[in-house]
């Protein structure tokens, strides 16, 4: 089976590549990534040595290139991770989010419709449901809830989901969508909360906590997300949406304190800063449908996963130091410049 994985040089896409190469060595993975500031080819260094893996630098919004790739590579399955993903950046500059997340997804859907695939899997997010109040712990996101995005990022992801469903209904494209809660684990870009806290604490720098730190996120170890995607894209029903989450709710200040404690760093590093505009209060996934239909269960408890993640960042200092210094952006030129 040929599987086209877009956004494969990012956090979850790269973890998914490694998951797939190990779990399904018979499949061939073609990775497409524009290597934006968030894409890092160093992350795929080991995968690049695998004969069943091919990397293509390209933009999902570039219709000509995307169609060429479909013509040549003939993917059976497409998994679309490629996106602008940072909420704070979307508040500063919404345009690129619409271009990539909506326009880019539409180009991929067009190509999949034109060339035919057995499955187009769209990677969605729980942020499309909006947020839940802090004082109603009995409420959870369910697949049939109305879309109520808060940020330009989540609005662009909601639009991509709507387009994906429209291509299913109108053109009969076999699609599935998964909507996952916050991921954490190796290779996450250090602008996101957990890696940002780890690297700043390691450097004895202040830790910015938005507002009062009481916002709640539902954390899932990235490999548990990957195993769910693998099941959904193969065995999920056409035209269905599947929530992914593991009931691991924590407020931000608890997560920050846990990391500082693990690293033996003082809480005096915590600095409360002006809140994010439109900051969603609480995310909490109800994953029952995915568990019931596909037998999926997360394997990693937050307490174990956060330790594994911190250890990974400590053992891979050069990976994030290259990012923080900007060096990683020269890597593609070094590897591919003369090819």
Catalytic residues: 126-127, 153
Q: Report phi then psi at 171, rounded to 5.
A: -110, 0
In angstroms, give the least distance from the CB of 73 to ligand NAD.
15
Sign of dihedral through CA atoms 231, 242, 153, 119?
A: positive
Q: What's the CA gap between 300 and 105, in Å, rounded?
A: 31
Least CB distance to ligand NAD at residue 221 (A) = 11
Q: 70 vs 313, which CB is nearer to ligand DAU?
A: 313
For the bound state, the minimum distance from the C-beta of residue 130 to ligand DAU, rounded and expressed in Å, comes to: 11
Nearest distance in Å: CB 266, ligand NAD: 28
Whole-angstrom distance, CA of residue 22 vs CA of residue 156: 32
**Which residue in the set 37, 67, 199, 210 belongs to the binding site for ligand DAU (CB under 6 A)?**
210
Which of 56, 253 has the CB closer to ligand DAU?
253
Can you give the binding site for ligand NAD, defined by CB under 6 A? 6-7, 9-13, 33-36, 38-39, 59-61, 81-85, 100, 104, 123, 125, 157, 180, 182-183, 189
| First-to-final CA distance of the chain | 27
Q: Does residue 11 interact with ligand DAU by CB under 6 A?
A: no
Q: For the CB of residue 284, give the shortest distance to ligand DAU in the complex, in Å.
A: 10
Tokens 């290779």 found at? 187
Instruction: Residue count of the chain, please give it.
Output: 339
Element (H, E) at 120: strand 119-125
Does 94 bind ligand DAU (CB under 6 A)? Our answer is no
Alpha helix stretches (DSSP H) within the chain? 11-23, 63-73, 87-92, 94-97, 105-115, 152-171, 193-202, 222-235, 252-263, 288-294, 302-315, 317-325, 331-336
Under rule CB under 6 A, residue 14 binds ligand DAU: no
Binding at 196: pick from ligand DAU, ligand NAD, none (beta carbon under 5-8 Å per type): ligand DAU
Q: How far apart are CA 126 and CA 106, in angstroms?
A: 20
Sign, CA dihedral 234-121-149-127, equals positive
Query: Among ligand NAD, ligand DAU, none, what binds residue 161 when CB lies within 5 to 8 Å by partner kind?
Result: none
Partner from ligand NAD, ligand DAU, none contacting 38, C-beta within 5 to 8 A by type: ligand NAD
Tokens of 133: 């109040």
One residue of 40, 43, 85, 243 binding ligand DAU per CB under 6 A: 85
Burial letters 284-294, b for 16+ CB under 10 A, else e: bbbbebbbeeb
Question: Which residue has the CB atom at the shortest distance from ligand NAD?
Answer: 10
Work out whether the CA dihedral 146, 236, 105, 14 comes out positive or negative: positive
Candidates 82-90, 138-146, 237-245, 304-312 — which segment interacts with ligand DAU by CB under 6 A? 82-90
Among 34, 66, 209, 310, binds ligand DAU (CB under 6 A): 209
Using the minimum distance from each CB to ligand NAD, give the nearer residue, 38 or 256.
38
Query: 249-251 and 216-218: which strand pairing?
Result: antiparallel
Residue ranges in contact with ligand DAU by CB under 6 A? 85-87, 125-127, 181-182, 192-193, 196, 208-210, 215, 217, 252, 276, 283
């Amino acid at each position: 089976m040929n599987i086209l994985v877009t956004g494969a040089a990012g956090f979850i896409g790269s973890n998914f590549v490694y998951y797939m190469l190990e779990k399904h060595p018979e499949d061939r993975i073609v990775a497409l990534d524009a290597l934006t500031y968030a894409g890092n080819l160093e992350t795929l260094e080991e995968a690049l040595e695998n004969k069943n893996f091919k990397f293509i630098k390209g933009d999902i919004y570039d219709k000509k290139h995307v169609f060429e790739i479909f013509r040549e590579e003939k993917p059976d399955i497409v998994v679309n991770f490629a996106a602008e993903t940072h909420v704070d950046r979307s508040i500063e500059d919404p345009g690129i989010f619409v271009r990539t997340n909506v326009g880019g997804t539409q180009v991929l859907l067009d190509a999949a419709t034109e060339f035919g695939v057995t499955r187009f899997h769209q990677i969605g997010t729980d942020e499309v449901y909006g947020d839940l109040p802090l004082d109603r712990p009995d409420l959870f996101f369910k697949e049939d809830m109305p879309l109520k995005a808060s940020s330009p990022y989540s609005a662009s992801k909601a639009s991509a989901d709507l387009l994906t469903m429209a291509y299913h209904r109108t053109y009969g494209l076999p699609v599935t969508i998964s909507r996952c809660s916050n991921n954490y684990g190796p290779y996450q870009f250090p602008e996101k909360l957990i890696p940002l806290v780890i690297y700043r604490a390691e450097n004895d720098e202040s830790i910015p906590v938005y507002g009062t730190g009481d916002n709640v996120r539902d954390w899932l170890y990235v490999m548990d997300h990957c195993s769910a995607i693998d099941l959904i894209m193969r065995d999920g029903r056409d035209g269905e949406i599947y929530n992914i989450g593991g009931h691991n709710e924590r407020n931000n200040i608890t997560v920050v304190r846990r990391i500082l404690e693990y690293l033996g760093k003082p809480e005096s590093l915590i600095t409360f800063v002006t809140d994010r505009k439109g900051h969603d209060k609480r995310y909490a996934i109800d994953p029952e449908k995915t568990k019931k239909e596909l037998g999926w269960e997360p394997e990693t408890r937050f307490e174990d996963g956060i330790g594994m993640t911190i250890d990974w960042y400590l053992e891979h200092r050069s990976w994030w130091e290259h990012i923080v210094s900007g060096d990683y952006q020269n890597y593609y030129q070094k590897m591919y410049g003369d090819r």
